[in-house]
Structure 1
């Protein structure tokens, strides 16, 4: 699953949350104290990243929402009433895991870009030799 797929899946869950809470983008933004324009940008898929602050505010404000479901799509939307400290520890673990995954994927992208540049150079040199 690439970064855009992860973002799109998160947006789908955010929209499910808004529907469950009977909120639109503006009322959600107001309720959690977050920028409406940023929420709108996410929901309209005009951003390829999701702000940690949004995730934090959603989970902090809606204690009945399962953090694993919101972030990773695992489990049920509604919380099973585990203690807040446990929820926050799981949230931190989940975010740390996602950050590591993004870091690893970015490293792989950089590696592939380097390989691609090297191959492009080799092809150009090869084609240059054939023309002469």
Structure 2
């Protein structure tokens, strides 16, 4: 069962938080026409993406459901972002080290192939010399 949230209450809370007194000013703030905002109220809808893009501290869950805190806890968000950034840095370091080791491995394999080719060449040269000696005898 879907719980209907009165979007005009959400709009009023946003206006209060932003210290905007009128719907006209709120519509200007969002960059939409007043008629669009009025239509949202009548149809009980919101353009969530637009509001979140203009009010980056607004909790999307609150905006959609009307439940929970209106504002995002920036400390938690920053802490999470820092953890993610550290994780990405660690992963980049790991990938860089992996690439470095793969390059070393590639060089070693090239050396092994080169040595294998030399051994093969020397072995074939020995066989040819023995064949040549037998022919001479």
- How high is the TM-score relative to the length of structure 1? 0.49
Q: Rg bigger for which structure?
A: 2
- How high is the TM-score relative to the length of structure 2? 0.47
